[in-house]
A and B are shown apart, each in its own frame.
Chain A
Amino acid sequence: AQSVTQLDSHVSVSEGTPVLLRCNYSSSYSPSLFWYVQHPNKGLQLLLKYTSAATLVKGINGFEAEFKKSETSFHLTKPSAHMSDAAEYFCVVSDQGGTASKLTFGTGTRLQVTL
């Protein structure tokens, strides 16, 4: 069985400051892990994906995430927040090699960026 926990339902940062969105996972096998972003009234868009290659994964728009097996974490970071980063972010887990019908979504973290 697999599960994913997003530790914060809401995060607020000032523009230009670092972003940290936390995600912990549970998986019986080596997992695939994803971060998706959802802007208001839009569908979800893939930010980045981890599939057992490099543990530090770089995504779009300056985001990156680090897979830490010992901590079962896959936190999303960005050095400097921009107003356009305000959105909902979803951490997603799949057992390694699992198909999309086996994905488990987190409950989401809403990122607010203030001036």
Chain B
Amino acid sequence: IAGITQAPTSQILAAGRRMTLRCTQDMRHNAMYWYRQDLGLGLRLIHYSNTAGTTGKGEVPDGYSVSRANTDDFPLTLASAVPSQTSVYFCASSSGTLPGANVLTFGAGSRLTVL
């Protein structure tokens, strides 16, 4: 079934540790995104990539980095995790960046707890 696969689904992590959340899509979508979801705050964009080889900062990029080496994969890295990064992380994609190509397909999420 076409879609977005995220891993891990859940992780508990000690503060200061490095963590990479993986995201893979098989729809050949050009654009990919990472959001965090926190109670009462909705979804906030962390980083995005309009096409392979390019990335951009979203609303809350501090403490996170991304790479886009190919079309399918868009990993999110926390270099040194802090408790405020405890959240549910969603990877999403869209077919392109032209006007109208702004409907998102989401993965099932990765729940991260930083102690």
CB pair A98–B43 under 8 Å, yes or no, is no
Beta-carbon contact of B99 and A98 below 8 Å? yes
Q: Which of B4-59 contact A (CB under 8 A)?
A: 4, 31, 33, 40-45, 48, 50, 56, 58
A100 and B33 CA atoms in complex are apart in Å by 9
How far does the Cβ of A47 sit from chain B's closest Cβ, in whole Å? 11
CB-defined contacts of B103 to chain A, threshold 8 Å = 34, 46, 49, 100
B102 touches A46 (CB 8 A): no
Q: Quick one: given A42-B108, A100-B94, are A94 and B102 in contact (CB under 8 Å)?
A: yes
Q: Hey, which chain B residues are within 8 Å of A18, CB to CB?
A: none
What per-residue 1/0 map shows which CB atoms of B99-114 lie under 8 Å from chain A?
Answer: 1111110111100000
Q: A41 an interface residue at 8 Å Cβ cutoff?
A: yes
- State whether the Cβ of B90 lies closer than 8 Å to any Cβ in chain A: yes
A44 in complex: contacting residue of B31, B97, B100, B104, CB < 8 Å? B104
User: CB-defined interface of B69-94 with A at 8 Å, one 1/0 digit per residue?
Assistant: 00000000000000000000010101
Question: Given A51-B100, A96-B99, do A101 and B45 touch, yes or no (CB 8 Å)?
Answer: yes
CB proximity of B99 to chain A, nearest CB, Å: 3
Which B residues lie within 8 Å of A45 (CB)?
106
Known: A107-B40, A108-B42. A43 touches B102 (CB 8 A): no
Interface residue A16 (Cβ < 8 Å from any Cβ of B):
no
Q: Which of A41, A42, A90, A102 contacts B42 (CB 8 A)?
A: A90
**29 sampled A-B residue pairs with Cβ under 8 A:** A32-B102, A36-B104, A43-B4, A43-B92, A43-B106, A43-B107, A43-B109, A44-B43, A44-B104, A44-B106, A46-B104, A49-B103, A90-B43, A94-B102, A97-B100, A98-B99, A99-B94, A99-B98, A99-B99, A99-B102, A100-B48, A100-B92, A100-B101, A100-B102, A100-B104, A101-B31, A102-B102, A107-B41, A108-B42
List residues of chain A with CB under 8 Å of any chain B CB. Answer: 9, 32, 34, 36, 41-46, 49, 51, 90, 94, 96-103, 105-108
